[in-house]
Structure 1
Protein backbone atom coordinates (compact mmCIF):
# COMPACT_ATOMS: atom_id res chain seq x y z
CA UNK A 1 0.00 0.00 0.00
CA UNK A 2 1.44 3.32 -1.13
CA UNK A 3 0.61 6.55 0.67
CA UNK A 4 0.12 8.33 -2.64
CA UNK A 5 -2.32 5.67 -3.82
CA UNK A 6 -4.44 5.51 -0.66
CA UNK A 7 -8.10 6.59 -0.97
CA UNK A 8 -11.34 5.74 0.76
CA UNK A 9 -12.05 2.93 -1.69
CA UNK A 10 -8.73 1.90 -3.29
CA UNK A 11 -5.54 0.68 -1.64
CA UNK A 12 -2.46 0.71 -3.84
CA UNK A 13 0.21 -1.91 -4.16
CA UNK A 14 2.93 0.03 -2.33
CA UNK A 15 6.27 1.46 -3.28
CA UNK A 16 7.66 -0.83 -5.91
CA UNK A 17 9.25 -1.44 -9.22
CA UNK A 18 6.32 -0.07 -11.15
CA UNK A 19 6.35 3.29 -9.37
CA UNK A 20 10.10 3.54 -9.79
CA UNK A 21 10.01 2.58 -13.45
CA UNK A 22 12.27 -0.40 -12.75
CA UNK A 23 11.90 -4.10 -13.64
CA UNK A 24 10.13 -6.15 -11.00
CA UNK A 25 12.61 -9.04 -11.01
CA UNK A 26 16.35 -9.19 -10.92
CA UNK A 27 18.13 -11.76 -13.04
CA UNK A 28 20.35 -13.83 -10.78
CA UNK A 29 21.09 -12.45 -7.31
CA UNK A 30 19.36 -9.46 -5.72
CA UNK A 31 20.31 -6.11 -7.25
CA UNK A 32 20.49 -2.85 -5.33
CA UNK A 33 17.97 -0.33 -6.62
CA UNK A 34 15.83 -3.05 -8.14
CA UNK A 35 15.24 -5.68 -5.46
CA UNK A 36 16.21 -3.58 -2.47
CA UNK A 37 17.24 -0.08 -1.45
CA UNK A 38 20.35 0.82 0.54
CA UNK A 39 19.87 3.74 2.91
CA UNK A 40 22.22 6.63 2.30
CA UNK A 41 22.60 7.09 6.06
CA UNK A 42 22.56 3.94 8.28
CA UNK A 43 20.20 4.08 11.25
CA UNK A 44 21.10 3.15 14.83
CA UNK A 45 20.09 -0.41 15.76
CA UNK A 46 20.01 -2.38 19.01
CA UNK A 47 23.27 -4.21 19.73
CA UNK A 48 23.69 -7.96 19.64
CA UNK A 49 21.50 -9.18 16.81
CA UNK A 50 20.63 -8.37 13.20
CA UNK A 51 17.37 -6.48 13.30
CA UNK A 52 14.63 -7.14 10.73
CA UNK A 53 11.47 -5.02 10.80
CA UNK A 54 8.20 -5.56 8.98
CA UNK A 55 6.50 -2.23 8.32
CA UNK A 56 2.76 -2.82 7.92
CA UNK A 57 -0.75 -1.43 8.26
CA UNK A 58 -3.74 -3.46 9.41
CA UNK A 59 -5.88 -1.86 6.69
CA UNK A 60 -3.54 -2.88 3.86
CA UNK A 61 -4.79 -5.91 1.87
CA UNK A 62 -1.23 -6.68 0.75
CA UNK A 63 -0.07 -6.83 4.38
CA UNK A 64 -2.97 -9.16 5.14
CA UNK A 65 -2.04 -11.44 2.23
CA UNK A 66 1.64 -11.34 3.22
CA UNK A 67 1.06 -12.38 6.83
CA UNK A 68 0.90 -16.20 6.42
CA UNK A 69 4.09 -16.27 4.34
CA UNK A 70 5.83 -13.94 6.78
CA UNK A 71 4.79 -16.02 9.79
CA UNK A 72 6.34 -19.13 8.23
CA UNK A 73 9.56 -17.22 7.59
CA UNK A 74 9.70 -15.81 11.13
CA UNK A 75 9.55 -19.30 12.61
CA UNK A 76 12.79 -20.15 10.80
CA UNK A 77 14.89 -17.04 11.43
CA UNK A 78 18.43 -17.76 12.70
CA UNK A 79 19.25 -17.16 16.33
CA UNK A 80 21.29 -14.04 15.49
CA UNK A 81 18.27 -12.30 13.93
CA UNK A 82 15.76 -10.24 15.91
CA UNK A 83 12.41 -9.71 14.15
CA UNK A 84 9.74 -7.18 15.04
CA UNK A 85 6.74 -5.47 13.47
CA UNK A 86 6.21 -1.72 13.22
CA UNK A 87 2.79 -0.30 12.23
CA UNK A 88 3.00 2.72 9.94
CA UNK A 89 0.98 5.94 9.84
CA UNK A 90 0.94 7.64 6.45
CA UNK A 91 -1.70 10.02 7.79
CA UNK A 92 -3.55 10.43 11.10
CA UNK A 93 -6.62 8.25 10.55
CA UNK A 94 -7.29 5.43 10.33
CA UNK A 95 -3.57 4.69 10.57
CA UNK A 96 -2.98 5.96 14.12
CA UNK A 97 -5.98 4.03 15.48
CA UNK A 98 -4.52 0.85 13.99
CA UNK A 99 -1.10 1.66 15.41
CA UNK A 100 -2.66 2.05 18.84
CA UNK A 101 -4.47 -1.29 18.49
CA UNK A 102 -1.12 -2.97 17.86
CA UNK A 103 0.74 -1.35 20.74
CA UNK A 104 -2.14 -1.72 23.22
CA UNK A 105 -2.35 -5.45 22.46
CA UNK A 106 1.42 -5.70 22.77
CA UNK A 107 1.35 -4.02 26.18
CA UNK A 108 -1.31 -6.48 27.35
CA UNK A 109 0.55 -9.55 26.08
CA UNK A 110 -2.32 -10.23 23.67
CA UNK A 111 -0.58 -9.52 20.37
CA UNK A 112 0.14 -13.14 19.41
CA UNK A 113 -3.48 -14.11 20.04
CA UNK A 114 -5.09 -11.10 18.35
CA UNK A 115 -2.81 -9.96 15.52
CA UNK A 116 -4.32 -12.19 12.81
CA UNK A 117 -7.83 -11.62 14.21
CA UNK A 118 -7.49 -7.88 13.64
CA UNK A 119 -6.53 -8.49 10.01
CA UNK A 120 -9.45 -10.92 9.62
CA UNK A 121 -11.94 -8.47 11.12
CA UNK A 122 -10.90 -5.72 8.72
CA UNK A 123 -10.43 -7.70 5.51
CA UNK A 124 -12.97 -10.51 5.86
CA UNK A 125 -15.64 -9.16 8.21
CA UNK A 126 -15.22 -5.65 6.76
CA UNK A 127 -15.00 -3.91 10.11
CA UNK A 128 -13.25 -0.55 10.00
CA UNK A 129 -11.89 -0.68 13.57
CA UNK A 130 -11.07 3.02 13.55
CA UNK A 131 -13.38 4.22 16.35
CA UNK A 132 -12.55 3.55 20.03
CA UNK A 133 -16.03 2.21 20.84
CA UNK A 134 -15.99 -0.20 17.89
CA UNK A 135 -12.47 -1.33 18.72
CA UNK A 136 -13.35 -1.93 22.38
CA UNK A 137 -16.45 -3.93 21.37
CA UNK A 138 -14.33 -6.06 19.03
CA UNK A 139 -11.81 -6.74 21.79
CA UNK A 140 -14.53 -7.73 24.26
CA UNK A 141 -16.07 -10.07 21.69
CA UNK A 142 -12.69 -11.78 21.37
CA UNK A 143 -12.07 -12.23 25.08
CA UNK A 144 -9.86 -9.19 25.68
CA UNK A 145 -10.74 -7.05 28.71
CA UNK A 146 -12.20 -3.97 26.99
CA UNK A 147 -11.60 -1.62 29.92
CA UNK A 148 -7.95 -2.59 30.26
CA UNK A 149 -7.51 -2.42 26.52
CA UNK A 150 -9.00 1.07 26.36
CA UNK A 151 -6.72 2.17 29.18
CA UNK A 152 -3.69 0.98 27.24
CA UNK A 153 -5.04 2.35 23.94
CA UNK A 154 -5.23 5.85 25.47
CA UNK A 155 -2.01 5.59 27.48
CA UNK A 156 1.00 7.85 27.16
CA UNK A 157 3.17 4.79 26.57
CA UNK A 158 1.19 3.74 23.50
CA UNK A 159 1.10 7.31 22.22
CA UNK A 160 4.89 7.46 22.56
CA UNK A 161 5.32 4.20 20.66
CA UNK A 162 3.14 5.39 17.78
CA UNK A 163 5.28 8.52 17.48
CA UNK A 164 8.46 6.45 17.54
CA UNK A 165 7.06 4.13 14.87
CA UNK A 166 6.24 7.07 12.62
CA UNK A 167 9.76 8.47 12.96
CA UNK A 168 11.33 5.07 12.27
CA UNK A 169 9.30 4.54 9.09
CA UNK A 170 10.27 8.03 7.94
CA UNK A 171 13.93 7.33 8.69
CA UNK A 172 13.77 4.16 6.60
CA UNK A 173 11.98 6.24 3.93
CA UNK A 174 9.14 3.72 3.86
CA UNK A 175 6.60 4.88 1.29
CA UNK A 176 4.53 1.71 1.00
CA UNK A 177 3.71 -1.49 2.88
CA UNK A 178 4.42 -4.26 3.50
CA UNK A 179 8.13 -3.51 3.56
CA UNK A 180 11.06 -5.11 5.35
CA UNK A 181 13.85 -3.08 6.92
CA UNK A 182 17.14 -4.82 7.60
CA UNK A 183 19.44 -3.62 10.37
CA UNK A 184 19.06 0.08 9.67
CA UNK A 185 20.79 -0.27 6.31
CA UNK A 186 18.38 -1.69 3.72
CA UNK A 187 14.76 -2.21 2.88
CA UNK A 188 12.88 -4.39 0.41
CA UNK A 189 9.26 -5.21 -0.39
CA UNK A 190 7.13 -7.57 -2.44
CA UNK A 191 6.31 -4.76 -4.85
CA UNK A 192 10.03 -4.19 -5.45
CA UNK A 193 10.82 -7.88 -5.87
CA UNK A 194 7.62 -9.08 -7.52
CA UNK A 195 6.39 -11.47 -4.81
CA UNK A 196 6.25 -11.98 -1.06
CA UNK A 197 8.43 -15.06 -1.31
CA UNK A 198 11.15 -13.22 -3.21
CA UNK A 199 10.99 -10.29 -0.78
CA UNK A 200 11.83 -12.69 2.01
CA UNK A 201 14.55 -14.30 -0.11
CA UNK A 202 16.06 -10.85 -0.63
CA UNK A 203 15.76 -10.24 3.11
CA UNK A 204 17.76 -13.42 3.71
CA UNK A 205 20.39 -12.10 1.28
CA UNK A 206 20.51 -8.76 3.13
CA UNK A 207 20.86 -10.54 6.48
CA UNK A 208 23.87 -12.40 5.04
CA UNK A 209 25.26 -9.10 3.78
CA UNK A 210 25.00 -7.56 7.25
CA UNK A 211 26.47 -10.70 8.82
CA UNK A 212 29.51 -10.46 6.57
CA UNK A 213 30.04 -6.86 7.64
Structure 2
Protein backbone atom coordinates (compact mmCIF):
# COMPACT_ATOMS: atom_id res chain seq x y z
CA UNK A 1 0.00 0.00 0.00
CA UNK A 2 2.82 2.39 0.90
CA UNK A 3 4.48 1.63 -2.42
CA UNK A 4 1.23 2.39 -4.23
CA UNK A 5 0.88 5.76 -2.47
CA UNK A 6 4.50 6.54 -3.27
CA UNK A 7 3.84 5.90 -6.96
CA UNK A 8 0.70 8.04 -6.92
CA UNK A 9 2.50 10.90 -5.19
CA UNK A 10 5.38 10.66 -7.66
CA UNK A 11 2.95 10.78 -10.58
CA UNK A 12 1.17 13.75 -9.01
CA UNK A 13 4.48 15.56 -8.57
CA UNK A 14 5.37 14.96 -12.21
CA UNK A 15 1.97 16.28 -13.34
CA UNK A 16 2.34 19.40 -11.19
CA UNK A 17 5.83 20.01 -12.55
CA UNK A 18 4.59 19.61 -16.12
CA UNK A 19 1.74 22.04 -15.46
CA UNK A 20 4.15 24.58 -13.98
CA UNK A 21 6.44 24.28 -16.99
CA UNK A 22 3.45 24.68 -19.29
CA UNK A 23 2.39 27.83 -17.46
CA UNK A 24 5.92 29.22 -17.65
CA UNK A 25 6.26 28.45 -21.36
CA UNK A 26 5.26 31.55 -23.40
CA UNK A 27 2.55 31.10 -25.98
CA UNK A 28 4.76 32.70 -28.63
CA UNK A 29 8.53 33.10 -28.74
CA UNK A 30 11.29 33.50 -31.30
CA UNK A 31 11.03 30.38 -33.44
CA UNK A 32 7.48 29.67 -32.29
CA UNK A 33 4.96 31.87 -34.09
CA UNK A 34 7.53 34.39 -35.26
CA UNK A 35 11.23 34.93 -36.00
CA UNK A 36 13.66 37.81 -35.59
CA UNK A 37 16.40 39.49 -37.55
CA UNK A 38 19.75 39.03 -35.80
CA UNK A 39 20.11 42.79 -35.97
CA UNK A 40 16.99 44.97 -36.37
CA UNK A 41 16.89 46.86 -39.65
CA UNK A 42 17.60 50.57 -39.59
CA UNK A 43 14.47 51.89 -41.28
CA UNK A 44 12.18 54.87 -40.91
CA UNK A 45 9.23 54.01 -38.67
CA UNK A 46 5.88 55.76 -38.21
CA UNK A 47 5.40 57.65 -34.96
CA UNK A 48 3.42 55.78 -32.30
CA UNK A 49 2.52 52.96 -34.69
CA UNK A 50 4.04 49.63 -35.71
CA UNK A 51 5.04 49.27 -39.36
CA UNK A 52 4.06 45.96 -40.96
CA UNK A 53 5.92 45.44 -44.23
CA UNK A 54 4.45 42.60 -46.30
CA UNK A 55 6.03 40.96 -49.34
CA UNK A 56 3.91 38.89 -51.72
CA UNK A 57 3.92 37.42 -55.22
CA UNK A 58 1.10 36.78 -57.64
CA UNK A 59 0.18 33.13 -58.06
CA UNK A 60 0.97 32.37 -54.41
CA UNK A 61 -1.84 30.78 -52.38
CA UNK A 62 -0.42 31.57 -48.93
CA UNK A 63 0.40 35.10 -50.10
CA UNK A 64 -3.31 35.62 -50.72
CA UNK A 65 -4.45 34.39 -47.31
CA UNK A 66 -1.68 36.31 -45.53
CA UNK A 67 -2.60 39.44 -47.45
CA UNK A 68 -6.25 39.13 -46.42
CA UNK A 69 -5.41 38.59 -42.75
CA UNK A 70 -2.97 41.50 -42.61
CA UNK A 71 -5.36 43.91 -44.35
CA UNK A 72 -8.16 42.93 -41.98
CA UNK A 73 -5.89 43.32 -38.96
CA UNK A 74 -4.61 46.71 -40.11
CA UNK A 75 -8.16 47.92 -40.76
CA UNK A 76 -9.22 46.94 -37.24
CA UNK A 77 -6.13 48.45 -35.58
CA UNK A 78 -5.54 51.66 -37.50
CA UNK A 79 -4.53 53.34 -34.25
CA UNK A 80 -1.70 50.85 -33.71
CA UNK A 81 -0.30 49.66 -37.06
CA UNK A 82 0.51 50.80 -40.59
CA UNK A 83 0.52 48.14 -43.31
CA UNK A 84 2.79 48.50 -46.33
CA UNK A 85 2.43 45.86 -49.05
CA UNK A 86 5.09 45.30 -51.69
CA UNK A 87 5.70 42.80 -54.50
CA UNK A 88 8.62 40.42 -54.12
CA UNK A 89 11.46 39.65 -56.53
CA UNK A 90 11.98 35.94 -55.99
CA UNK A 91 14.97 34.74 -58.01
CA UNK A 92 15.09 38.17 -59.65
CA UNK A 93 11.60 37.79 -61.12
CA UNK A 94 10.04 41.26 -61.50
CA UNK A 95 6.68 40.12 -62.93
CA UNK A 96 4.64 40.85 -59.80
CA UNK A 97 6.29 44.23 -59.32
CA UNK A 98 5.84 45.28 -62.94
CA UNK A 99 2.19 44.19 -63.07
CA UNK A 100 1.45 45.93 -59.76
CA UNK A 101 3.15 49.11 -60.97
CA UNK A 102 1.28 49.03 -64.28
CA UNK A 103 -2.07 48.70 -62.52
CA UNK A 104 -1.13 51.79 -60.48
CA UNK A 105 0.03 53.79 -63.52
CA UNK A 106 -3.14 52.79 -65.36
CA UNK A 107 -5.18 54.26 -62.51
CA UNK A 108 -6.69 50.92 -61.47
CA UNK A 109 -4.70 49.99 -58.37
CA UNK A 110 -7.58 47.84 -57.13
CA UNK A 111 -6.84 45.38 -59.93
CA UNK A 112 -3.67 44.33 -58.13
CA UNK A 113 -5.68 42.76 -55.29
CA UNK A 114 -8.02 41.13 -57.78
CA UNK A 115 -5.11 39.72 -59.80
CA UNK A 116 -3.57 38.33 -56.61
CA UNK A 117 -6.88 36.62 -55.85
CA UNK A 118 -7.48 35.24 -59.34
CA UNK A 119 -3.89 34.06 -59.83
CA UNK A 120 -3.87 31.95 -56.65
CA UNK A 121 -4.78 28.26 -56.66
CA UNK A 122 -4.40 27.83 -60.41
CA UNK A 123 -2.97 24.80 -62.19
CA UNK A 124 0.11 25.52 -64.36
CA UNK A 125 -1.90 25.31 -67.58
CA UNK A 126 -4.32 27.94 -66.26
CA UNK A 127 -1.76 30.14 -64.51
CA UNK A 128 -2.18 33.89 -64.86
CA UNK A 129 1.52 34.27 -64.14
CA UNK A 130 2.68 32.04 -67.01
CA UNK A 131 0.47 32.74 -70.03
CA UNK A 132 0.33 36.06 -71.91
CA UNK A 133 -2.87 34.91 -73.57
CA UNK A 134 -4.58 34.31 -70.23
CA UNK A 135 -3.30 37.64 -68.89
CA UNK A 136 -4.74 39.49 -71.89
CA UNK A 137 -8.05 37.66 -71.51
CA UNK A 138 -8.14 38.63 -67.83
CA UNK A 139 -7.36 42.28 -68.59
CA UNK A 140 -10.09 42.47 -71.23
CA UNK A 141 -12.55 40.92 -68.80
CA UNK A 142 -11.85 43.82 -66.44
CA UNK A 143 -12.20 46.50 -69.12
CA UNK A 144 -8.49 47.24 -69.49
CA UNK A 145 -7.27 48.62 -72.82
CA UNK A 146 -4.54 46.21 -73.90
CA UNK A 147 -2.55 48.66 -76.02
CA UNK A 148 -2.46 51.27 -73.26
CA UNK A 149 -1.61 48.65 -70.64
CA UNK A 150 1.24 47.26 -72.75
CA UNK A 151 2.62 50.76 -73.35
CA UNK A 152 2.52 51.52 -69.64
CA UNK A 153 4.09 48.15 -68.80
CA UNK A 154 7.31 49.35 -70.47
CA UNK A 155 7.01 53.01 -69.44
CA UNK A 156 9.36 55.16 -67.36
CA UNK A 157 6.66 55.58 -64.71
CA UNK A 158 6.41 51.84 -64.18
CA UNK A 159 10.19 51.52 -64.21
CA UNK A 160 10.43 54.12 -61.44
CA UNK A 161 7.89 52.29 -59.27
CA UNK A 162 9.64 48.96 -59.84
CA UNK A 163 13.01 50.43 -58.88
CA UNK A 164 11.50 51.73 -55.64
CA UNK A 165 10.14 48.25 -54.92
CA UNK A 166 13.55 46.75 -55.69
CA UNK A 167 15.23 49.03 -53.15
CA UNK A 168 12.67 48.12 -50.49
CA UNK A 169 13.13 44.43 -51.27
CA UNK A 170 16.91 44.77 -50.94
CA UNK A 171 16.52 46.55 -47.61
CA UNK A 172 14.55 43.67 -46.11
CA UNK A 173 16.06 40.83 -48.21
CA UNK A 174 13.24 38.36 -47.40
CA UNK A 175 14.56 34.79 -47.87
CA UNK A 176 11.07 33.45 -48.55
CA UNK A 177 7.62 34.58 -49.62
CA UNK A 178 5.21 35.49 -48.15
CA UNK A 179 6.84 37.40 -45.34
CA UNK A 180 5.63 40.11 -42.99
CA UNK A 181 8.13 42.16 -40.98
CA UNK A 182 7.13 44.26 -37.98
CA UNK A 183 9.23 47.38 -37.35
CA UNK A 184 12.14 45.80 -39.20
CA UNK A 185 12.60 43.37 -36.33
CA UNK A 186 10.06 40.54 -36.04
CA UNK A 187 9.14 38.22 -38.92
CA UNK A 188 6.05 36.23 -39.83
CA UNK A 189 6.15 33.60 -42.57
CA UNK A 190 3.78 31.02 -44.06
CA UNK A 191 3.68 28.82 -40.94
CA UNK A 192 1.91 31.70 -39.17
CA UNK A 193 0.11 33.44 -42.04
CA UNK A 194 -1.90 30.37 -43.07
CA UNK A 195 -4.60 30.81 -40.39
CA UNK A 196 -6.51 33.97 -39.47
CA UNK A 197 -6.98 33.42 -35.72
CA UNK A 198 -3.37 32.34 -35.27
CA UNK A 199 -2.09 35.27 -37.33
CA UNK A 200 -4.15 37.76 -35.32
CA UNK A 201 -2.98 36.28 -32.02
CA UNK A 202 0.69 36.51 -33.00
CA UNK A 203 0.20 40.05 -34.31
CA UNK A 204 -1.47 41.14 -31.06
CA UNK A 205 1.44 39.68 -29.12
CA UNK A 206 4.13 41.32 -31.27
CA UNK A 207 2.43 44.71 -31.55
CA UNK A 208 2.11 44.86 -27.75
CA UNK A 209 5.71 43.68 -27.40
CA UNK A 210 7.01 46.38 -29.76
CA UNK A 211 5.00 49.08 -28.02
CA UNK A 212 6.45 48.02 -24.66
CA UNK A 213 9.96 48.01 -26.13
CA UNK A 214 9.46 51.57 -27.37
CA UNK A 215 8.28 52.71 -23.94
CA UNK A 216 11.42 51.27 -22.34
CA UNK A 217 13.57 53.30 -24.72
User: Do the structures match in fold with TM over 0.5?
Assistant: yes
For 2:103, the equivalent position in structure 1 comes to 105
> What are the ranges of 5 or more consecutive residues in structure 1 without an aligned counterpart?
1-26
Higher helix fraction: Structure 1 or Structure 2?
2
Cα contact 1:97–1:131 (8 A) shared by 2: no
Q: Tell me which residue corresponds to 2:158.
A: 158
Question: In the alignment, which residue of structure 1 is the partner of 2:41?
Answer: 42
Q: Could you tell me whether the CA contact under 8 Å between 1:102 and 1:111 is conserved in 2?
A: yes
Q: What are the equivalent positions in structure 2 for 1:1-213 lying under 5 Å apart?
A: 28-39=26-37, 40-48=39-47, 49-92=49-92, 95-124=93-122, 126-130=126-130, 135-191=135-191, 195-212=195-212, 213=214
Structure 1 residues 176, 81: closer, same or farther in 2, change over 3 A? same
Q: Do the aligned partners of residues 149 and 103 (structure 1) sit closer, same or farther apart at CA in structure 2, a change above 3 Å counting?
A: same
Query: Shift of residue 166 of structure 1?
Result: 3.5
Please report the TM-score for the alignment, with normalisation by the length of structure 1.
0.70
Q: 3-state DSSP class of the match of 2:55?
A: strand
Q: Deviations over 1:49-69 (max 9, x none)?
A: 432122111121221343443
Larger Rg: 2
Q: Which runs of 5+ in 2 are unaligned?
A: 1-24
RMSD over aligned CA atoms reads 2.9
Whether the 8 Å contact between 2:64 and 2:120 is mirrored in structure 1 is no
Would you say how many aligned residue pairs link Structure 1 and Structure 2? Answer: 185
Kept in 1: contact 2:40–2:185 (CA 8 A): yes
Residue aligned with 2:90, SS: coil
Give the secondary-structure state (helix, strand or coil) at the position aligned to 1:36.
strand
Distance (whole Å) between structure 1 residues aligned to residue 150 and residue 103 of structure 2: 10
TM-score, length of structure 2 as denominator length? 0.69
